[in-house]
Amino acid sequence: MTVRLHPESTPDPLTMRWVTDASTAGPLPELQALVDDGTLAGVEVGTGEIRTRLSPQRSWADDGARVRTAVFQALSRTADDSLQGRIAEVLRREVSPYVDSHGGRIEIASLNDGVLTVALRGACGHCTMRAATLRNLVANAVRRFPEIRDVRAAS
């Protein structure tokens, strides 16, 4: 699975927001090591992002490459090669660009016994074309996975 990572500055010059499409599960020892050695004052993990805060007297010019490498390594290690992870990658690549262009987003709500349940959020959440999006885009995108026998919308 490819890990996409994009740094964004924040109003706090010591804090960097790392936007990603990779899921982060469990502890991130690569970043904890930077906290332990005093490079980082803290790390916050959220959906689609990791925020790193440099310790006082540190600078992004000196430490940014090391922090970026640690974030990338942590995300690469936790990248999900499971069926759900592979489906998420296909949806990100093939469905999300269309859904995003309409002001929405798609998320996997669950995957149980061959039934993939997805949530359409944002502008797509109540769109009259959501059934067509599920049938024409999502179902076609996941057809390559024989384990998936049905695609449903989350309620």
- Helices then strands (H, E): number in the chain? 6, 7
Task: Note whether 39 and 58 are within 8 A (CB).
Answer: yes
CATH T-level topology, domain 5-78 = Gyrase A; domain 2 (3.30.1360)
Whether domain 83-153 has CATH 3.30.930.10: no
Question: Contact, 77 vs 30, CB < 8 A?
Answer: yes
The segment(s) of the chain belonging to CATH 3.30.300.130 are: 83-153
Q: Write out the chain's pLDDT in tens, 155 residues.
A: 566 788 999 999 999 999 987 766 556 889 999 999 999 999 998 878 899 999 999 999 999 999 999 998 888 765 555 788 888 888 988 999 998 898 888 988 888 888 999 988 888 888 888 888 888 899 999 988 888 999 998 87
pLDDT at 26: 59
